[in-house]
A = this chain, B = another copy of it.
Amino acid sequence: MGTVAFQTDPSRYRHWRLDVQGAIATLGMQVAEDGGLEPGYALKLNSYDLGVDIELADAIQRLRFSHPEVRALVITSLRDRVFSAGANIFMLAQSSHAFKVNFCKFTNETRLYLEEMSRESGIATLAALNGTASGGGYELALACDEILLVDDGSAAVSLPEVALLGVLPGTGGLTRVVDKRRVRRDHADFFSTTAEGVRGARAAEWGLVDEAVPRSRFQARVAERAAALAAKSDRPAGGAGVELPPLRRRASDAGIEYGHVALAIDRARRVATLTVRAPREPQPSDAAELLRGGAEAWAITAWRELDDALLHLRANEAEVGVVLLRTEGDPAAVLAVDRMLAEHRADWLVRETLLLQRRVLKRLDLTARSFFALVTPGSAFAGSLLELALAADRSYMLDDDAGANAVVLSPLNRGLLPMGSGLSRLQARLAHDERVAAALAREASFNAAEALAAGLVTFAPDEIDWDEEVRLAVEERAAMNPDALTGMEASLRSVGPETLETKIFGRLSAWQNWIFTRPNATGPKGALSVYGKAGQRPEFDWRRT
């Protein structure tokens, strides 16, 4: 398994074509059969692997930043009579457990970004199923606001995973069918156990799609619905967007250096240090300056770098168990950026910038590593960067003799960067409204004793104890069963209300993890293992669990 790279741009796409016509963008899927990330499988029938989804995620991100004029996105297939066959089965069958889980996680995140884009950014989405959408192909459609299915007697939507592969739909399909589209759960039961899926009128009647449209009228109806969706948008009528340039990124065996972010790996201890630096150059003071300066702004670039570092950790540094979160620089510079973003958040680009930061922080919440924040003199745990400490599983703040070590809140801690549950990280951390209110009431910074009393940090060792206490805590953590830590951290981080989003990750992903490890799916005679092998049928241990 080679190193997975998450950075791409449209000039390098092999699987998608992004076409923008005024307010309507169309993402056309045409997966290159020989374009898989790894050898060993052909991406037939618009089936996909992680590489296809990396391009999709990139296209969505660029659409948001670079095309302010776009108000609706149509996702369709550039192949005849097939929309997408979903995740490539042979890729899944040859992948390790950890890879499958990470692949499903990234794909889930990307699907949720489509929904966030519609809800928060004013770019509605329409799945134009010009042919059969199976498994993950249909799950991609489920992530759109509307689904039109061509009604030609053959095109179907289906979730064939349970019946054919012995696994679950991996990217939220079950949850979206019943909770988002409100398909009756008995219909969903039939649908999800029927390999051939459901076509035409029945698919529409059951709510699996919004409309089944004869082929002769399909394109016209897609255009009509896209225009109707676009009409509801609050995006600006015209004007330029912001290009997202390639990240400055120097990778070595010791880690990755970005412009504002550094990832250092200590493989012997299985510990990484992820450092985010505060802005060192003057930053835009309003929305117009942000637009003029483009994506070089710290508020965009630093967070894109952090996102890339997290994805790299997940995909390419599997054995790192503990990630130490650090910050450096001038807290006042972070606060200035935060205040500008909060003040101008009605602007479309500022909104996109805040949503980017929100997504990156959610990516951290969903990264299956132990995060400890270390707050030391010279750090910049202020506002948006303090969210890193609040996202951490726990935090240590040096109670220095000088009393100079400090953390500070900004308007962005007041719910502008919410978690998947809808709670702010301060709410999730402090668990009591009055404690949240007390912390937010203070404009000044908190020294270590004050931060400890306010609940902003977990522990505040003094200079005598610091080294030993932190070293021991990290060593102990790195020595525990990594699976149990994953389950524990996922449970504790998901405190509070459940949403479609948390349900998909908490409930569905956990079930999928279990099923992926079971011999009935992935053993030598498991359904996933023998799929497509001539003359072989799965053999099951019938005991229900």
Contact = CB atoms under 8 A, between A and B. Distances in A.
Contacts of A238: none
Contacts of A250: none
B488 A270 contact: no
A502 B494 CA distance: 13
Interface in A102-125: 102
Given A168-B488, A185-B493, A431-B184, A515 B483 contact: yes
Given A97-B545, A321-B542, A491-B174, A458 B186 contact: yes
A143 B521 CA distance: 36
Nearest to A192: B488
Contact of A431 (B178, B321, B431, B543): B178
Contacts of A538: 481
Contacts of A318: 542-544
A334 to B, nearest CB: 22
Contacts of A270: 542
Nearest to A188: B492
Which residue among A392, A481, A514 has the maximum number of chain B CB atoms within 10 Å of its CB?
A481
B487 A431 contact: no
A134 interface: no
Interface in A311-333: 318-321
A203 to B, nearest CB: 16
A494 B482 contact: no
Interface in A459-478: 459, 476-477
Contacts of A520: 481-484
Contacts of A480: 162-163, 166, 193
Query: What copy number does this chain have within its complex?
Result: 2
Nearest to A368: B544
Nearest to A392: B186
Nearest to A194: B476
Interface residues of A, number: 91
Contacts of A319: 542-544
B428 A185 contact: yes
Interface string A111-151: 00000000000000000000000000000000000000000
Interface string A484-514: 1111111111111110001100111011111
A527 B459 CA distance: 29
Contacts of A494: 503, 507
A526 B392 CA distance: 27
B507 A185 contact: no
Contact of A513 (B321, B459, B496, B545): B545
A184 B455 contact: yes
Contacts of A489: 189
A502 to B, nearest CB: 8
Interface string A149-188: 0000000000001110111100000110111001111111
A408 to B, nearest CB: 19
A101 interface: yes
Contacts of A515: 481, 483-484, 487
B162 A485 contact: yes
B98 A544 contact: yes
Contacts of A536: none
14 contacts: A165-B484, A186-B394, A186-B395, A190-B458, A193-B477, A368-B545, A483-B514, A483-B515, A484-B515, A487-B514, A498-B503, A510-B510, A513-B514, A513-B545
